[in-house]
């Protein structure tokens, strides 16, 4: 999308140098359940990325435009050419306007990809333990569970509970398990409205491989964007 200066009365949101009309704001968002509370945050974040790409005159490749278009169509449920044309007619958009909109998405995707790659090594070096690969088993229930039952198959007697077995980045595990060593029993400890008991089955230290760097870059970018938002001038224009 190309940010066009408009009067405040015609805009729904101003973020730094970008002013957004209501129709433009709605186009930024994929379909989502009614009442989703994240809508305002996502619109603001898109405006922040627009600010970062206002002076981006670097040509876009066909692959950039194609990826942006596929992402947009998937998010809006536009399964084929016919549904896309129907959506364009509904939004009163010309083909040229749609192409400009896709170019804006492609520029923001490119900026994000590059920023993630820039931030990833430093973030991983500072928080390597967050990116250990951990396979664990944990139980969350209304009553405490004896940790030894996780070793001996005694869970059938633990009452109503949710049992999870899986591999995660350490940062994505329940907090009591994130720093636990291999074969360590944790709990029972209070967790949310109940209790958690778990065991770390395997733990592999975070490495500088592409998958781990990508995950670190994604997390670092989220933190960068949150800081960028704190420093931004944001004004909603409610009619």
Q: pLDDT tens digits, the chain, 239 residues: what are they?
A: 444 443 444 677 788 888 877 667 766 766 554 445 577 788 888 889 999 999 999 999 999 999 999 988 888 888 888 998 998 888 888 888 889 989 999 999 999 999 999 999 999 999 999 999 999 999 898 777 777 777 665 555 566 778 899 999 999 999 999 999 998 899 899 998 889 999 999 999 999 999 999 999 999 999 999 999 999 998 887 65
Q: Looking at the structure, do residues 157 and 228 belong to the same domain, yes or no? A: no
How high is the pLDDT of residue 170? 95
How high is the pLDDT of residue 162? 84
* Closest by CA position to 131, among listed 165, 176, 179: 179
How high is the pLDDT of residue 142? 79
Q: Looking at the structure, do residues 90 and 26 belong to the same domain, yes or no? A: yes
Long-range contacts of 58-67 (CB under 8 A, 24+ apart): 60/103, 60/106, 60/107, 60/110, 64/106, 64/109, 64/110, 65/102, 65/103, 65/106, 67/106, 67/109
What tokens does 178 get?
A: 């994130």
Q: Looking at the structure, do residues 121 and 228 belong to the same domain, yes or no? A: yes
Q: Looking at the structure, do residues 100 and 146 belong to the same domain, yes or no? A: no
How high is the pLDDT of residue 237? 74
Does a structural domain hold residue 170? yes
Q: Looking at the structure, do residues 59 and 150 belong to the same domain, yes or no? A: no
Q: Looking at the structure, do residues 100 and 18 belong to the same domain, yes or no? A: yes
How high is the pLDDT of residue 233? 92
Does a structural domain hold residue 213? no
100 and 200 Cβ atoms separated by less than 8 Å: no
Q: Give the DSSP H/E element, type plus range, for residue 197.
A: strand 194-204
* Closest by CA position to 135, among listed 202, 38, 215, 206: 202
What tokens does 151 get?
A: 């070793």
Does a structural domain hold residue 109? yes
Number of structural domains found in the chain: 2
Does a structural domain hold residue 97? yes
Q: Which structural domain, as residue segments, surrounds residue 106?
A: 8-126+218-236
0.85 surpassed by pTM: no
Q: Looking at the structure, do residues 117 and 169 belong to the same domain, yes or no? A: no
83 and 65 Cβ atoms separated by less than 8 Å: no
């Amino acid at each position: 999308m190309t940010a066009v200066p408009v009067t405040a009365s015609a805009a729904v949101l101003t973020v730094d140098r970008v002013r957004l009309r209501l129709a433009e704001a709605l186009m930024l968002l994929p379909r989502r359940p009614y009442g989703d509370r994240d809508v305002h945050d996502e619109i603001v974040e898109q405006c922040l990325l627009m600010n970062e790409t206002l002076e981006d005159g670097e040509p876009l490749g066909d692959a950039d435009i194609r990826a942006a278009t596929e992402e947009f169509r998937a998010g809006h449920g536009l399964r084929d050419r016919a549904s896309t044309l129907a959506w364009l007619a509904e939004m009163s958009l010309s083909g040229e306007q749609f192409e400009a909109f896709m170019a804006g998405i492609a520029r923001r995707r490119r900026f994000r990809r590059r920023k993630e790659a820039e931030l990833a090594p430093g973030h991983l070096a500072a928080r390597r333990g967050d990116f250990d690969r951990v396979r664990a088993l944990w139980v969350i229930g209304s009553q405490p569970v004896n940790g030894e039952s996780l070793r001996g198959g005694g869970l059938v007697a633990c009452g109503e509970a949710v049992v999870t077995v899986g591999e995660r980045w350490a940062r994505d595990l329940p907090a009591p398990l994130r720093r636990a060593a291999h074969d360590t029993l944790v709990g029972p400890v209070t967790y949310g409205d109940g209790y958690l008991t778990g065991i770390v089955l395997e733990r592999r230290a975070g490495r500088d491989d592409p998958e781990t760097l990508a995950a670190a870059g994604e997390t670092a970018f989220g933190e960068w964007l949150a800081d960028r938002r704190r420093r931004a001038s944001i004004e909603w224009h409610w009619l």
